Amino acid sequence: MPPMGFPSDLEIASAAELRPPAEIAGRLGIPEEFLEPYGRTVAKIDLGILTAPGQPQEQRAKYVVVTAVTPTPLGEGKTTTSVGLADGLAQLGKRVAVTLRQPSMGPTFGIKGGAAGGGYSQIVPMDRLNLHLTGDFHAITAAHNLLSALLDNHLHHGNELGIDPRNITWRRVLDVNDRSLRNIVLGLGARADGVARQTGFDITAASEVMVLLSLSSSLADLSQRLRRIVVGYTYAGRPVTADDLGAAGAMAVILKDAINPNLLQTLEGTPALIHCGPFGNIATGNSSVVADLVATRRADIVLTEAGFGADMGAERFMNVKCRVSGLRPDAAVIVVTVRALKAHSGRFKIVAGKPLPEELLAENPDDVRAGIANLRKHIQIIEGFGVWPVVAINAFPQDFDSEHQVIRDLCAELGVKCAVSRHVAEGGAGAAELAQALIDALDHPTHFRYTYESDQSLVSKIEAVATKVYGADGVDFAPAAASALAAYEKLGFGDLPVVIAKSHLSISHDPALKGAPTGWRLPVREVRAAAGAGYVYAICGEMRTMPGFASHPNAERIDLVDGEIRGLS
């Protein structure tokens, strides 16, 4: 929360003087011939740069993942910290790049707002980023829904493959929060209007095409992943793929340009590669592999953000994304706020769209101390991967030094570097202490390790994440989940990594369990295969893949006045 009189994010972004994309690309040694301009301030980077003669083919950068403690519904500032830290490192003479997810328009027009950073640590142009950017989300929506249309068309024209309409797993997507589309019946009307069946919509960020694109390393890899998408099963139980429906080629054509990373910049001119935006709860919650490959071959340090806490995005970054990219992190930044730790004391309730409780804003180091077990657990999670953690205190004007000191004391006890960062109000200069702490941490060698090996069973992989990362006592598989896991092993999916879809508001599956809960078991009610993306995911609790708007969403405050956008945040 910025101080009174502080300009809005949109006002700050609108006043910025942006450098030409060619100049920003030049800071990473990217020749202009590999840029495809989208207007005057955004460009796509031709993926051919990864294999072109004379271009770097090996990693040179230190690779850093930015994660966080278990967030409140407001988020704790991973994006702002990533941006501010990148600018802070650049001020120290480092060649830096930051790679981030593209925001979904669902939250932009909802309550949470956009994801371009905040204050003086933003990605610009802020309005382009939070809206259509280069059209990647629309391309993903179109490719996904083309497959949906071809699937229903196949049913209409006789169902030669013998697809069981009651066992179709492929839905439709839209980049708008629309709860009324969660469950629908389509095909109503005359016989020519298709086969009636029940289905629904997810938000585009939850599309398997989104995460598949984010994990693809080339156009050829993209095409193969599209072919492997499983849309449902036949009456005999055989999986039906996009390739079976003849859809994969057309989908690849739609996504031909979307696979190229988008080049933007911070307010201080640091290169930012913004690409893909997989859902953080049910998918990887990380930006694209190709953006990281481009950046790590050219920068000294690359910062990439992983969604939600270390138990969520960072775990998937380590166990899923790093397996695909072949890159290994050299350090992890854990973002923490005083308000998050106070919330984990269990004494306060934070609700998006409502003012913070007055008692939470009062000076009280004991409230921070009561919730600090959550930070301790996230430090342990990162160290469990053999990676050095650096704790970044994202400072708010309402914080008190005594509350920051509680965090510093824990880090000193654990031998972990810690720094206060005021990048939102001060830009890169406000992240100077954090930048130096990270540089110091990067001097230490890492001993990276996965939570599980590929040849373990799917059951043991899920159990490993639950017990080693979350701290659960074990896993309880519902009968349907156990049957699905056995079937996936027989279908040849057993060597895939796993993703656990759960609440981001607790290290456990239950958002009511704050801090670092112990003495609990993880209940898995359902398991699905994302064969195209290349993982199996277990679902814990009720996961909404199509959000709904609040009673007064941000969309009501956004307007176009004399050609200028107002109210975007």
Which tens digits make up the pLDDT trace of 184-226?
999 999 999 999 999 999 999 999 999 999 999 999 999 999 9
Statement: residue 271 has pLDDT above 90: yes
Mean pLDDT of 5-25: 91
Question: Given pLDDT bands bounded at 50, 70 and 90, which one contains residue 563?
Answer: confident
| Helical segments of 239-356, H only | 248-254, 289-296, 315-316, 322-325, 338-343
Q: How confident is the model at residue 461 (pLDDT cuts 50, 70, 90)?
A: very high
Cα–Cα distance between 99 and 238 in angstroms, integer? 39
In the prediction, which pLDDT does 547 show?
83
What integer is the mean pLDDT of 51-70?
96
pLDDT at 457: 98
What does the mean pLDDT of the chain come to?
94
Neighbours of 12 (CB within 10 A): 21
- Taking residues 162-181, report their average pLDDT: 95
* pLDDT tens, residue by residue, 431-458: 999 999 999 999 999 999 999 999 999 9
Give me the residue label for tokens 């994302």. Answer: 530
- Quick: pLDDT tens for 141-153: 999 999 999 999 9
Instruction: Check pLDDT > 60 for residue 462.
Output: yes
pLDDT digits (tens, 9 = 90+) for 282-323: 899 999 999 999 999 999 999 999 999 999 999 999 999 999
Strand order across the beta sheet in which 535-539 lies: 498-501, 535-539, 526-530
What tens digit of pLDDT does each residue of 107-132 get? 778 776 677 889 999 999 999 998 99
Mean pLDDT, to the nearest integer, of 166-189?
A: 95
pTM of the model: 0.94
**Nearest by Cα to 295 from 114, 103, 121, 94:** 94
Residue 552 has pLDDT above 90, yes or no: no
* Three-class HEC string of 154-213: HHHCCCCCCEEEEEECCCEEECCCCHHHCCEEECCCCHHHCCCEEECEEEHHHCHHHHHH
Whether residue 353 has pLDDT greater than 80: no
